[in-house]
Amino acid sequence: MPAYGAAGYPKALNVGDTIQLINAADATAGNVSNTSPLTISPSPMSGQRTITILNTTNQQAQGQLAAVDTTASYENTSGFTIAAGASLTYNLGVCFLRFNFSSSPSSGLLTVIG
């Protein structure tokens, strides 16, 4: 996984993919307030996708969605909060996705499964 905040286009989350947005090195560095974004590809059948987020960090993660990948476009999404040590299954359409932490995690992983 590239270092947090590395330049480049957002990764695409396709059906069956697993992407780690926070890894152990990021958490140990303690410098993450927003994860790098990823794009959600649509289901060919419905345009909607169900994803699962596994949050093994020691901080709550707030899901943020945007139609375009600019910092100002991301908004907190109701019902899209994953407690520390928990998981959440969530339905959404085509969008950009990132997660926000009010305090930077110091341990654990944040993993998105498509």
Q: Hey, where are the domains in the chain? A: 11-113
Which positions ≥6 away from 21 have C-beta within 8 Å?
35, 36, 38, 98, 99, 110, 111, 112
Architecture, CATH, for domain 11-113: Sandwich (2.60)
**Cβ contact 14:24 at 8 Å:** no
Give pLDDT tens digits for 16-63.
Answer: 899 988 776 666 666 678 888 999 887 777 778 899 999 999 999 999
- The helix/strand count (H/E) of the chain reads as 1, 9
Q: What is the pTM of this model?
A: 0.84
Q: Residues of the chain with pLDDT > 90: what percent?
A: 42
